[in-house]
Amino acid sequence: MTSSPTRRAWLYGGVAAVAAVAGLGGALWHRGGGAPGGEQLDAAFWGQRFDRPEGGELMFESLRGKPLLLNFWATWCPPCVEEMPMLDAFFRENGGNGWQVVGLAIDQPSAVRKFLTKTPVSYPIGLAGLQGTELVKNLGNTAGGLPFTLVLDAGGAVTARKIGKLELRDLQAWRRA
């Protein structure tokens, strides 16, 4: 069975994206020592862009300067799906206080679009695909498990990481910090 040029292009593009993100993440990990609590994410992190399910781009640069909760998820991940209404409520309650919430879907764009028509959220979603898997690992989740949440303060420093389903007490503690 031979690959079509389109499949081959996607494969090569995916490999290139993984290599680029691995290099970026390795640099970030090395700079920050790999431990949560205070490491600054550099310009390469803030320069990332992701397509949005409804069209357009999610540009991380536009998220700088305010606290950010970055949640990696997938439609096939039950705990990810279960925590989304809680994340949406957190965003709606705290967005006026400066908090930003962003979901990065590590999934097929068509699956994400279909899911979001049935289960909409008010916070922005980016389509991370294969690139998201490497980004998760490079941001401190070496196992690559989902859901994975990263919290950044207004200065861009990592203040928390959590692998696994969020609890209301996590959100409350992060909001107070």
Burial of 153 (0-12, 13-18, 19+ CB in 10 A): middle
What are 112-156's pLDDT values in tens digits? 999 999 999 999 999 999 889 999 999 999 999 999 999 999 999
pLDDT given at position 27:
36
Q: Which two tokens stand for residue 92?
A: 């709606």
**CA trace torsion 10, 13, 14, 19 (10° rounding):** 170
Question: Which of the residue ranges 47-51, 52-56, 128-132 would you say has the lowest mean pLDDT?
Answer: 128-132
> Mapping DSSP to helix (H, G, I), strand (E, B) and coil, where does residue 18 land?
helix
Q: Please, what is the average pLDDT of the chain?
A: 85
**Cα–Cα distance, 39 to 157 (Å, whole number):** 5
pLDDT given at position 4:
52
Chain centroid offset of residue 137 CA: 11
Q: Give the mean model confidence (pLDDT) for residues 60-76.
A: 97
**Cα–Cα distance, 108 to 146 (Å, whole number):** 15
pLDDT given at position 10:
44
Per-residue pLDDT band at 16 (split at 50, 70, 90): very low
Domain 5-176, CATH class in plain words: alpha beta
**Cα–Cα distance, 5 to 139 (Å, whole number):** 33
Per-residue pLDDT band at 107 (split at 50, 70, 90): very high
pLDDT given at position 17:
40
Q: Give the mean model confidence (pLDDT) for residues 14-24.
A: 39
